[in-house]
């Protein structure tokens, strides 16, 4: 496997700058008092297409040769990666196909189509998804862009923490949610090279704690049936993301469903921003582990803001 380098991240940043927002960093004096730490929220919920995944997707799409690009891109994702890949493909004006189960929320299908992408439905099983996806690639010759286990994607996600350390001086730690590990890997790539003194923590739901258990065990363990309100974090680590997690993450902290929903509501209420349950996991773990962060300057990656306003988790 090819492990992306600092140079890849820097090249990615130059490549994607015209297609992404330099997202703001917000703070809340109220939440700082509550946490006993100085928290800096890097708001990728304000990112293009509503999630940090616009970074990795844009890097993959705009890094393609014209010949490759003409055949388009494809992925399987019922989450933000599908939407963001469609966004990036739309920006370049190339085809994008996203395979997702017919059971996926209509809003996710609409989001992909809203940016010009095509949705191909499969049954809600790994075998069906892989079979349908293989057909798509065979027919179109589209370039597969994995949601996270892809050097181009990880290099792109790494641009987020590069912005963060340029926006905030003297960070002691950064906390990011972990699902498949794309954002955490990009954060490791950037900080281990540019700011090795900053500790990296991954935050995960107790009910989808495969990364936590993998980290403790020293090898990848996949959940059989993770179930959490933080639906962006159900996917397992893969070899490339495991490499970064194993080598650069200080610890993985977990939070209960109740803690996650409470933290989400607290952020909405006090910071007046709309963000996903997944994005609340870092604050939930910080409030549960105050001793680790006491008096520290802590960056938090708010990964996205694409939430169903008709089905909020506290209702």
Binding site for a copy of itself (CB under 8 A): 24, 26, 45-46, 50, 265, 268-269, 271-275, 305, 309-310, 312, 314-315
Residue number, 138 or 309, with CB nearest to a copy of itself: 309
Minimum distance, C-beta of residue 33 to a copy of itself, in the bound complex (Å): 12
Residue number, 175 or 274, with CB nearest to a copy of itself: 274
Residue number, 61 or 307, with CB nearest to a copy of itself: 307
Q: Are strands 96-101 and 73-76 parallel, antiparallel or unpaired?
A: parallel
Asked if residue 270 lies in contact with residue 283, where contact means CB atoms within 8 angstroms, the answer is no
Minimum distance, C-beta of residue 57 to a copy of itself, in the bound complex (Å): 18
Instruction: Give the contacts of 229 (CB within 8 A, at least 6 positions apart).
Output: 205, 257, 260, 261, 277, 313
Residue number, 25 or 195, with CB nearest to a copy of itself: 25
Q: What is the largest CA-CA distance in the chain?
A: 56
Cα gap 312→315, rounded to integer Å: 6
Residue number, 21 or 246, with CB nearest to a copy of itself: 21
For 15, 20, 69, 82, 297, the CA distances from 66, given in Å and listed in that order, are 15, 21, 5, 21, 44
Q: Each residue of 149-186: b (16+ CB within 10 Å) or e?
A: bbbbbbbbbbbbbbbbbeebeebebbbbbbbbbbbbbb
* Angle separating helix axes 53-62 and 182-194, nearest 10 degrees: 80
Q: What are phi and psi of 220, to 5 degrees?
A: -65, 125
Instruction: Give the contacts of 69 (CB within 8 A, at least 6 positions apart).
Output: 61, 92, 94, 143
Residue number, 145 or 164, with CB nearest to a copy of itself: 164
Q: What are phi and psi of 40, to 5 degrees?
A: -120, 110
Question: How many beta carbons lie within 10 A of that of residue 281, not counting itself?
Answer: 35
Residue number, 204 or 259, with CB nearest to a copy of itself: 259
Minimum distance, C-beta of residue 103 to a copy of itself, in the bound complex (Å): 22
């Amino acid at each position: 496997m090819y492990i992306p380098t600092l140079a890849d991240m820097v090249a990615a940043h130059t490549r994607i700058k015209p297609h992404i927002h330099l997202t703001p960093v917000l703070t809340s004096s109220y939440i700082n008092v509550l946490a006993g730490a100085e928290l800096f929220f890097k708001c990728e919920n304000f990112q293009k297409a509503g999630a940090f995944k616009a970074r990795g997707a844009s890097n993959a799409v705009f890094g393609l040769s014209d010949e490759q690009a003409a055949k388009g891109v494809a992925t399987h994702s019922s989450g933000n990666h599908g939407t963001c890949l469609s966004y990036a493909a739309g920006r370049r004006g190339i085809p994008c196909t996203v395979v997702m189960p017919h059971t996926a929320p209509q809003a996710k299908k609409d989001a992909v189509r809203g940016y010009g992408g095509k949705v191909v439905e499969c049954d809600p099983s790994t075998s069906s998804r892989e079979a349908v996806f293989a057909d798509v690639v065979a027919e179109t010759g589209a370039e597969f862009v994995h949601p996270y286990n892809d050097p181009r994607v990880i290099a792109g996600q790494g641009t987020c923490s590069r912005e963060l350390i340029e926006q905030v001086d003297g960070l002691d730690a950064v906390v990011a949610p972990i699902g498949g590990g794309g954002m955490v890997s990009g954060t490791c790539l950037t900080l281990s090279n540019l700011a090795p003194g900053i500790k990296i923590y991954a935050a995960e739901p107790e009910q989808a704690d495969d990364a936590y258990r993998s980290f403790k065990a020293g090898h990848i363990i996949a959940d059989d049936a993770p179930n959490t309100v933080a639906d962006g974090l159900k996917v397992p680590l893969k070899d490339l993301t495991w490499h970064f997690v194993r080598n650069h993450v200080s610890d993985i902290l977990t939070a209960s469903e109740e803690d996650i929903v409470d933290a989400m509501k607290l952020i909405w209420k006090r910071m007046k921003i709309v963000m996903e349950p997944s994005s609340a996991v870092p604050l939930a773990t910080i409030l549960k582990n105050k001793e680790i962060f006491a008096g520290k300057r802590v960056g938090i990656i708010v990964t996205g803001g694409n939430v169903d306003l008709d089905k909020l988790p506290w209702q």
